Amino acid sequence: MLEVIELDIPEVRILCPKRHGDDRGFFSETYNKALLSDAGIDIDFVQDNHAYSAEKGTVRGLHYQMPPFAQDKLVRVVRGAILDIAVDLRVGSSTYGQHVSSVISAENGKQILVPAGFAHGLVTLEPHTEVLYKVSQYYAPEHDRGILWNDPELAIDWGLAEADAILSPKDRKLPRLAEVAACFSYPEAAQA
C-alpha cells in the first residue's frame, strides 16, 4: 500500500510507503513501479543518487536540469532529516515562482516526488544526513542549472540564518530566479 499526499502545488507529492514493523525493526518497499502507476505516477527512473552531508545546516540547491534532460526526482532520507523544497519554474503556471516544502526523514519514512519543471533543494536538519534519490534522466552537466537558495523573491524559510548555511562554492554563485532563462512552460513541463 502506498499513500500519496498532494501538497499546495499538487504536482509535488509526498509518498508514504507502508512500514511493516515488529520488535526487530521494520520492512518497507521504498519503490514499487506498479504501486506508483496505480497512483497515476508513470515515471521511468534511470539513475540513483546518494548524498551525504556531515553537518546540520548543509544546503543543496536549488537545482534543476533543462530540457531535454529535465529530471523528475523521487527523494528519501535513510539517515537524519531534511527540509525538502520544490520551486515551480513552469512559466504560465498559477504557482510559478512559488514553493512547497516538507520534512523528509529516516524516521518518518516519507518520500517527496519533485517533477520536471521544478527547482529542487534541501537543508539538513541533523548532522550525518544521507539522502537517496531517483532521477528520470541521466546527469547532463551542460544542462545543469540552479537558482540562488536565498533569492528574496522566493521567500523560502529555510529554518536557519544565512550565516549558518553551509553551501558549495557553486551554489553560492547561482543566479536569482529573475536572472534565469525560462525553459519550462505549463502544462508542457509535465511531459519533459
- Please, are residues 12 and 112 in contact by the beta-carbon 8 Å criterion? yes
> What integer pLDDT is reported at residue 83 of this predicted model?
98
Quick one: residue 57, left, alpha or beta (phi over 0 = left, psi -120 to 50 = alpha)?
left
> What integer pLDDT is reported at residue 34 of this predicted model?
93
- Is 99 an annotated catalytic residue? no
> What integer pLDDT is reported at residue 1 of this predicted model?
76
> What integer pLDDT is reported at residue 190 of this predicted model?
55
- Please, are residues 78 and 132 in contact by the beta-carbon 8 Å criterion? yes
> What integer pLDDT is reported at residue 163 of this predicted model?
95
> What integer pLDDT is reported at residue 191 of this predicted model?
54
Of the residues 64, 99, 120, 133, only one is catalytic, namely 133
Of the residues 50, 63, 64, 128, only one is catalytic, namely 63
The radius of gyration of the chain's CA atoms, rounded to the nearest angstrom, is 16
Q: Which residues of the chain have pLDDT under 70?
A: 188-192
- Is 20 an annotated catalytic residue? no
Please state the pTM of the whole predicted model: 0.94
Q: Write the CB contacts of 6 (distance below 8 Å, at least 6 apart in sequence).
A: 12, 13
